[in-house]
Amino acid sequence: MDVALWIEWIIKALILVLGLLTGFAYLTYMERKFLARFQNRYGPNRAGPFGLLQPVADGVKLIFKEELIPAQADKLIFMAAPIITTVPALIILGVLPFGGVVNIMGREVPLSIAGNLNVGVLYIAAITSISVYGIVLAGWSSNNKYATMGGIRSSAQMISYELALALSFVGPIMLAGSLSLADIVEEQMRIGWFIIYQPIGFVIFLIAALAEINRAPFDMPEAEQELTAGYHVEYSGMKFALFMMTEYIKMIVVSAIAATLFLGGYHLPFVTDQPWGVWLGPFILIGKIILLLWGIIWVRATLPRVRYDQLMAMGWKVLLPIALFNVFLTSVIMVLFPNWFSH
Amino acid sequence: MSFVKDTLDGVKATFTGLATTFREMVRPPVTIQYPEEKRPVRPRFKGRHVLKRYDNGLEKCIGCSLCSAACPADAIFVESAENTDDERYSPGERYARVYEINMLRCIFCGYCEDACPTEAIVLGDNYELSFTDRRSSIYTKEFLIEPVPEGGKATPQKVEPGIYTRSVPAMKDPED
């Protein structure tokens, strides 16, 4: 446990968090531009060249807004809830491998913070569950019946789809034989991307992930602001910005996990095998993440919102059985044809 | 069995929707980038008022204030004065010495244009009419009158007596 290792961790963590925050800001820009293009119009193009300073303008606006705390609200929890929601979203990517091992100034540096963690996927599932607390607490501490109901509905939606999500993780885990994300990516480098072996798993992951991050067409908690209220109705200014941050960062995180578990992570067939290919790893992963984010925005532009009872019915009565069937099918094939997946 | 059919119909509908939005993405947007590009106005567009002139430069407005009487919002104020041959503003006996339209009252209905016997007040194409204080919402005659056309002289004009005796000219029916 030498100082160099600590410095390495701190630098990597800083790069990750700052990268996620910048990514969040420009993801809002990218979403507005893409949504606009899907709707036959331009997006923001006035704030700076091509509208590139729009996130800065939005950030400055939110900073200057008045911070309102409702009268009978539980102050401590009211202020803590956005933080409880945002921090887990930021730290999930600690176990994601961004690349192989590079040599910086004579030191072998793996391009990830804790990619070799032997319970990586379990860590992801666990940390995703903590965000649910933030939402319920936000709804409760607002001292607003509608916010409470919105928060409870949202948390019910999230924990229902977490089951299908975690079951869709099981396929790649069985194929790789390990919970560690670095092992999963290495296995994909060996036998090919897991989307070929787990097409059903990939589809289930995408649907469950969209429901997990409260994103269209499952964005009932957000839309309820039009209908009655959502869990962040009483929030203003920077606390509201934190909730928005959570949603967009979770979009990035979920895309990153999908890219790692099913689309090969930082691996591209002929590029990463080259000696200089190791440095391209993070960029390849970012390219895949952007592609998946574009897909998420595409879905938001297209599909209408799912009604809450249809949503819960779909989570429990459709996705969960299909996810269980996927696990069953994968394990049966692995038992019948052990030579395909020898490791 | 209908469960499977419903599911497959749902999947097919989802993909049709996704294809539709994707198709819209590859088409160019229909936005017009105002204020750099402006959309041309339609014919008979009711924009800002213009007080017209004849080709020789004399104003068409004879100060009869029929427009003021017709205005449903009471936005027009007309004060007329008598023409002399030394100082002639319009053919006929009278001209409008003061002509003001309060743009905060005007509803751009075009009744003044319909009521005018000489086709003096018309609603033109200008729609960019912002002002920053209430005083400048009163548009005066100097602001509304159109510039002197080619070949005409500015008013007031000094003319030969006896030529301009008829206030309301013989006009053709309007085409639009």
User: Could you tell me the CATH number of the domain that includes residue B107?
Assistant: 3.30.70.3270
B132 in the same domain as B69: yes
Phi, psi of A81 (to 5 degrees): -60, -45
Q: Which residue on chain B is closest to A41 by alpha carbon?
A: B29
Residue with tokens 């002509």: B99
* B27 contacts chain A (CB < 8 A): yes
In total, the C-beta contacts within 8 angstroms joining chain A to chain B are 33
B101 in the same domain as B24: no
For residue A34, the distance in angstroms to the closest alpha carbon of chain B comes to 8
Contact assessment for residue A208 and residue A164, using Cβ atoms and an 8 Å cutoff = yes
Nearest to A301 among B21, B29, B33 (CB): B21
Give how far Cα A226 sits from Cα of A11, A222, A309, Å.
42, 8, 18
From CA B41, how far away is CA A284, in angstroms rounded? Answer: 50
DSSP letter string over A218-276? S-HHHHHHHHS--TTTT--HHHHHHHHHHHHHHHHHHHHHHHHHTS-TT--TTTTTSGG
pLDDT for position A30? 94
Lowest-pLDDT range, A2-16, B6-20, B155-169?
A: B155-169
The answer as to whether B114 is a domain residue is yes
Provide the 10 A C-beta neighbour count for residue A286.
18
Is pTM beyond 0.90? Reply is no
pLDDT digits 0-9 by tens, A308-318: 888 899 899 99
The answer as to whether B124 is a domain residue is yes
For residue B11, the distance in angstroms to the closest alpha carbon of chain A comes to 12
Write out the residue range of the structural domain in which residue B108 sits.
49-144
Mean pLDDT for B108-119 is 92
Confidence of residue A225 (pLDDT cuts 50, 70, 90): low
A311 exposure class (CB count in 10 Å sphere: 0-12, 13-18, 19+): buried
Ramachandran class of B101: left when φ > 0, alpha when ψ lies in -120 to 50, beta otherwise: beta
B53 in the same domain as B17: no
pLDDT digits 0-9 by tens, A76-128: 999 899 999 999 999 999 999 988 888 888 788 888 888 788 899 999 999 99
Contact assessment for residue A72 and residue A66, using Cβ atoms and an 8 Å cutoff = no
From CA B18, how far away is CA A57, in angstroms rounded? Answer: 31
- A303 chain-B contacts, CB cut-off 8 A: 14, 17
B69 in the same domain as B24: no
The answer as to whether B155 is a domain residue is no
- B12 chain-A contacts, CB cut-off 8 A: none
The answer as to whether B23 is a domain residue is yes
The answer as to whether B91 is a domain residue is yes
Mean pLDDT for B2-30 is 88
The answer as to whether B158 is a domain residue is no
Mean pLDDT for A3-20 is 91
Residue B8 scores a pLDDT above 80: yes
Residue A324 scores a pLDDT above 90: yes
B83 in the same domain as B121: yes
For residue B13, the distance in angstroms to the closest alpha carbon of chain A comes to 10
The answer as to whether B107 is a domain residue is yes
B54 in the same domain as B139: yes
Q: Please indicate whether, in this complex, the C-beta atoms of A41 and B20 are within 8 angstroms of each other.
A: no
B123 in the same domain as B96: yes
Q: Please indicate whether, in this complex, the C-beta atoms of B31 and A39 are within 8 angstroms of each other.
A: no
Q: Which residues of A touch B (CB under 8 A)?
A: 34, 36-42, 45, 298-299, 301-303
Q: Which residue on chain A is closest to B13 by alpha carbon?
A: A303
Average pLDDT, chain A: 88
Q: Which residue out of A200, A296, A298, A302 would a mutagenesis test of the B interface target, given it has the greatest number of B Cβ atoms within 10 Å? A: A302
What's chain B look like in SS3? CHHHHHHHHHHHHHHHHHHHHHHHHHCCCCCCCCCCCCCCCCCCCCCCEEECECCCCCECCCCCCHHHHHCCCCCEEEEEEECCCCCECCCCCEEEEEEEEECCCCCCCCHHHHHCCCCCEEECCCCCCCCCCHHHHEECHHHHECCCCCCCCCCCECCCCCCCCCCCCCCCCCCC
Residue A343 scores a pLDDT above 60: no
Which DSSP category does A178 fall into? Answer: S
Q: Which residue on chain B is closest to A38 by alpha carbon?
A: B25
> In chain A, what percentage of residues exceed pLDDT 90?
48
B95 in the same domain as B20: no
pLDDT for position B77? 95
pLDDT for position A56? 93
- A34 chain-B contacts, CB cut-off 8 A: 25
From CA A98, how far away is CA A110, in angstroms rounded? Answer: 9
- A40 chain-B contacts, CB cut-off 8 A: 24, 27, 29-30
B63 in the same domain as B19: no
B25 in the same domain as B71: no
Q: Please indicate whether, in this complex, the C-beta atoms of B29 and A301 are within 8 angstroms of each other.
A: no
Q: Please indicate whether, in this complex, the C-beta atoms of A37 and B29 are within 8 angstroms of each other.
A: yes
- A50 chain-B contacts, CB cut-off 8 A: none
pLDDT for position A224? 60
For residue A201, the distance in angstroms to the closest alpha carbon of chain B comes to 16
* B24 contacts chain A (CB < 8 A): yes
What are the structure tokens assigned to A15, written together? Answer: 């790069």
The complex's ipTM works out to: 0.77
B110 in the same domain as B63: yes
The answer as to whether B56 is a domain residue is yes
Confidence of residue A190 (pLDDT cuts 50, 70, 90): confident
For residue B41, the distance in angstroms to the closest alpha carbon of chain A comes to 21
B75 in the same domain as B20: no
Tally of domains in chain B: 2
What are the structure tokens assigned to B66, written together? Answer: 């029929």
